[in-house]
Structure 1
Amino acid sequence: MSAQSNTSWNRRSILRAAAGLAVAAPLAACGSNNGRGGGSGSGKQLVQYFHAYGEAGVEQAVKRYAKAYTKANVSTQWITGSNFENKLFPALLTKQAPDVFEFHPQIQLIKSGQVADLTDIIDPVKDDFNPADIKSHTVDGKIYGVRMIDDPQFFFYRKSMLEKANVAVPTTLDELIEAAAKLTTSKVKGLFLGNDLTAIQNNLIWSAGADTLDEKNQIAYHTDGVIEGLTKLRKLFTSGNLLLDAPADFWDPSALNQGLCAIQWGGMWGMPATQAALGDDFGVFPFPKIGSSGKQSVYNGGWSMFVNAKGDNVEAAKEYVKWLWIDQKQYQEDFATSYGFHIPPRASIAAQATKLKSGAAADGVKLFNTYGHFDNIGWTQAMITAFNDVIANTVRKNGDPKSALDTCDTKVNRELKKLFG
């Protein structure tokens, strides 16, 4: 799985998993091996959860960092498969809960008291972090979670294929749909948006000039521009020019690398593999604008480290997180650039990340800085799932976009009322 895998999860199960944090049902943990024990430290036993990154060497690196820590025995649960949150959330309700885990900033984790306030360990270096990463982890002036990596998502394209078909890099959704038609041949599809299309759902909103929620935590996605985007995506879905049911999902660049499509939605993490496969025969561009009020967009995903506030070792876990994700800059740069390409969230580390300073990687960083949107901490798993259903019911099943958005509104407003009153 890629570094930004949340959009490739089994979406039908996310709502159940998210709801699990609010109940005390004795759900099963991650099998018989709870991961405790091992490690080379002394004293406390700490367990950390990671989803299975797809890039070679990441698991070994994570375990190498943990082994170097001397103040506790830190063992790693490396959660394989596409249902990381379905292992994490139920485990958090048990005695086998991890002390430390990676996830994305979501306010229900804070409202339920699940994650610890990390303001004290982040404050001394707060100004070195990307301000958007601090903002997306902050509630009522307190910072929850340390950003490990920023993961921009955008389109990758084969330069030679576009040149041969006389296709310019698209800047509008209409141009993207036209390009997909011109690039499609008997052997190659013009475009790949991921197997269930949900990978691009936030960009559909942003590129239409809308947002998930506004500053008052009210619905901001139900606009004419978003309806226009859904309608046009339905046209694309039925055109025969879209790659469907690829062997690997959007987070794996193999659809583009193996010549199954000419343009693929993907993450910057896949860039080294694409460089190895295609050399310089690829470029990147943002999600194109939709409608007259639209703007091009890039999704700035990523992963953050959290401390389980309900665990037995909160202070020891915070000390470990501070050691690894704040003090050990060498490990942080290694994690961000030695496997897949990710943008270090700290300016001092990003400034010395030489691998990101040339070629397509530099272009990706520029897109991140120019068009990037970060996660809204109030946009929770249940809300993501509700908008998944909009994509499924309008783009894949030809339902009415306005009706589907009305249904989504009801679900999202129910969640907003729980969270914000």
Structure 2
Amino acid sequence: MTISRRALLAAGAGAGLLTACGSNTGRGDDAGAGPKLSQWYHQYGETGTEQAVQRYAAAYRRADVSVQWRPGNYDQQTAAALLTGSGPDVFEGGPTLDQIQGGQVVDLTGLVEGVKDDFNPAVLTTKTYDGRIWGIPQVIDMQLLYYRKSLLSDAGVEPPATLDALVDAAGRLTTKKTKGLFLGNDGGAGVLGGTPLYAAGLQLVTDDGKVGFDDPAAARALAKLHQLYAAESLLLGAPADWSDPSAFLQGLTAMQWSGLWALPQVQKELGDDFGVLPFPRDGSGGAPSVPVGAYGAAVSARSRHQGTAKDFVKWLWVERTDYQQDFALSYGFHIPARISLARKADKLRTGAAAEAVRFATEHGYAQPLLWTPAAQTAYQDALSRIIKNGADPESELRTVVRKASAELDRVKRKP
């Protein structure tokens, strides 16, 4: 199974077969001085990424870094390995709240001294717990709304700036051949997550660790998603789901929610006949909303070479800005985690790409570290019932609030 970075942005994301890169790391005869470090990555689907990370490791002169490229259920493999002495020194991951609270990862706060403010704050927040930083963000993925300029122009529709305008635009753009909006084959329940809540000016979890959507504005926002479904303005049953732009490119929908990774293909096939938007704000207290996510580089607390492992992480993900840009933009289309790098990257300086960077910087939010899988499941199930079945949003959210509050109490009680 090949895992994509985009999986970080979709809801719901034992040891399998292990695949190491072997002894051929591309090192020269003078490389490999110092201790041996093991570095783990999940298996990316983008051609050239594995060779790139092997090249980065080979360039590090203060240790012999062996890269392991791991297929299968990477998260479960890593969680199991961190409990043993045979796990990685450095690994790609959240890290998770359980790993942080369980003392399985090392404090990396000092690695970003002097440059902390240059990291996108949304993704850095998800690596921060109890005021300390436990993972260094690598690259950013994001979701956004694509719209076909010519179709909107022909229908006399302006790019929607509010959720009400999005509902109206989707209806006006729907014809016998084209639906107004594609949010995924399930109507958006799987991909949107907390995005409509943030668009209403709310949060999944507040800064002080409480449920952030116990508010009438949440029910009002989610009810509008059902309006889209009930009005038959949504494309359902497309040949490919939301992460693939083919429905948009084939003219099956005038607007589609997808990811930044789709932008090069969209631009290649449509030229200038498209634009991008954040999820539109809802209500007077709302703001545009953009989900972002980033894997982080973490250091295992069981590493016998913690100091060297931390030095390597700092070298690769703080100091070597050339490698950071290369990793983000040479093997796919992603945003560097450093704001300054994103702003000066040639591929991100103009057009829709530059707009996307601005959206991620100004309106980006990441799923909170305290938002547990159980809370996510309860919320997503409720969202599905609201969108598809027209279930009462207030009643559904009351149930989710109770479940999420209990989960927050549980995780905050852990040492």
Indicate the residue corresponding to 1:21 in structure 2. none
Matched, 1:272 2:264: yes
Q: Is the 8 A contact 2:374 2:407 kept in 1?
A: yes
Residue range with higher mean Cα deviation, 361-370 or 376-385:
376-385
Q: Which residue of 152, 157, 170 corresponds with 1:167?
A: 157
Indicate the residue corresponding to 1:107 in structure 2. 97
Q: Which residue of 218, 230, 235 corresponds with 2:222?
A: 230
Report how far residue 283 of structure 1 moved.
0.5
Unaligned runs of 5+ in 2: none
Residues 391, 199 of structure 1: CA spacing in aligned structure 2 closer, same or farther, 3 A cutoff? Answer: same
1:249-328 map, 5 Å: 249-328=241-320
Matched, 1:190 2:180: yes
Report how far residue 372 of structure 1 moved.
2.5
Deviation readout 1:309-361 (Å, 9 max, x if unpaired): 23455444323322221222111011122233333222442343122111111
Distance 2:9 2:346 in 1: 29
Matched, 1:29 2:15: yes
Matched, 1:157 2:132: no
Residue range with higher mean Cα deviation, 355-364 or 386-395:
386-395
Percentage of identical aligned residues: 41
Distance 2:278 2:201 in 1: 14
Report how far residue 263 of structure 1 moved.
1.0
Indicate the residue corresponding to 1:336 in structure 2. 328
Residues 410, 73 of structure 1: CA spacing in aligned structure 2 closer, same or farther, 3 A cutoff? Answer: same
Residues 182, 388 of structure 1: CA spacing in aligned structure 2 closer, same or farther, 3 A cutoff? Answer: same
Partner of 1:46, secondary structure, is strand
Unaligned runs of 5+ in 1: 15-27
Distance 2:148 2:154 in 1: 10
Matched, 1:350 2:336: no
Deviation readout 1:151-193 (Å, 9 max, x if unpaired): 3322011111211222211122222122222222333322111
Partner of 1:226, secondary structure, is helix
Amino acid at match of 2:219: I
Q: Which residue of 202, 209, 214 corresponds with 2:206?
A: 214
Distance 1:402 1:114 in 2: 39
Q: Which residue of 111, 124, 131 corresponds with 1:121?
A: 111
Residues 312, 206 of structure 1: CA spacing in aligned structure 2 closer, same or farther, 3 A cutoff? Answer: same
Q: Is the 8 A contact 2:56 2:316 kept in 1?
A: yes
Residues 108, 57 of structure 1: CA spacing in aligned structure 2 closer, same or farther, 3 A cutoff? Answer: same
Partner of 2:335, secondary structure, is coil
Q: Is the 8 A contact 2:53 2:67 kept in 1?
A: no
Indicate the residue corresponding to 2:7 in structure 1. 5
Residue range with higher mean Cα deviation, 188-197 or 58-67:
58-67
Report how far residue 211 of structure 1 moved.
1.0
Report how far residue 92 of structure 1 moved.
4.0
Amino acid at match of 1:214: T
Distance 2:233 2:86 in 1: 47
Report the TM-score, using the length of structure 1 for normalisation: 0.85
Indicate the residue corresponding to 1:248 in structure 2. 240
Amino acid at match of 1:269: W
Distance 1:69 1:208 in 2: 46
Amino acid at match of 2:127: H
Partner of 1:101, secondary structure, is strand
Indicate the residue corresponding to 2:167 in structure 1. 177
Distance 2:236 2:93 in 1: 28
Provide the aligned C-alpha RMSD in A: 2.7
Amino acid at match of 2:223: T
Report how far residue 56 of structure 1 moved.
4.1
Deviation readout 1:380-411 (Å, 9 max, x if unpaired): 33332332222123223433322322222232
Residues 215, 191 of structure 1: CA spacing in aligned structure 2 closer, same or farther, 3 A cutoff? Answer: same
Partner of 1:244, secondary structure, is coil
Deviation readout 1:118-165 (Å, 9 max, x if unpaired): 123222533443445444422233211101123332201111121122
Report how far residue 86 of structure 1 moved.
4.5
Matched, 1:58 2:87: no
Report the TM-score, using the length of structure 2 for normalisation: 0.86
Distance 2:252 2:213 in 1: 32
Distance 1:87 1:187 in 2: 46
Q: Is the 8 A contact 1:236 1:242 kept in 2?
A: yes
Distance 2:399 2:80 in 1: 28
Aligned residues: 402
Residues 32, 104 of structure 1: CA spacing in aligned structure 2 closer, same or farther, 3 A cutoff? Answer: closer
Distance 2:69 2:331 in 1: 19
Report how far residue 227 of structure 1 moved.
0.8
